[in-house]
Amino acid sequence: MPPARRHVAWMGAALTEASAASRTGDVPVGAVVVSEAGEIVGTGHNQREELGDPTAHAEIIALRRAAAHLRSWRLTGCTLVVTLEPCLMCAGAALSARVERIVLGAWDEKAGATGSVWDVVRDKRANHWVEVIPGVRAGECGRVLTDFFAARR
């Protein structure tokens, strides 16, 4: 399957995770980590409200699960797929984990750190760089968030 089609399919798994977050009152962001072989090795959705943990972002949970599955903190060759552009903390975690690429749905114009507000993962001062592939199923990813916040108003 061509890379673009794989990204679309993987984003579907991340969107499924996002829906799990909204059921617990968390902002509906979902993430999956995909191995170099194309296997989903980690999944996560926002659980800050559910767990009372400020670090329980979808990306952090998915990265932790992938590291446990692969028995290594180095996620070399892996792809992080996330419905919303990672924040500074999550972009830093992906960078530290040596993720090869980040596939993202919607941009986060307020707190994004992979190209919108900051570009931590491609900063030439870092010892590793991450490829960023934006806009995969962006409309769907953005609608999930818009609908969530509209229901809260």
| Catalytic residue set | 59
User: 80 in helix, strand or coil?
Assistant: strand
DSSP string, 21-61: HHHTTS---EEEEE-TTS-EEEEEE--HHHHT-TT--HHHH
Which tokens sit at 20? 């799990």
DSSP 119: B
Query: Which CA distances in Å does 55 have to 19, 46, 109?
Result: 19, 9, 20
Residues 28 and 19 sit within 8 Å (Cβ to Cβ): yes
Is 57 one of the annotated binding-site residues? yes
Q: Is 83 helix (H, G, I), strand (E, B) or coil?
A: strand
Which residues make up each annotated binding site for Zn(2+)?
57, 87, 90
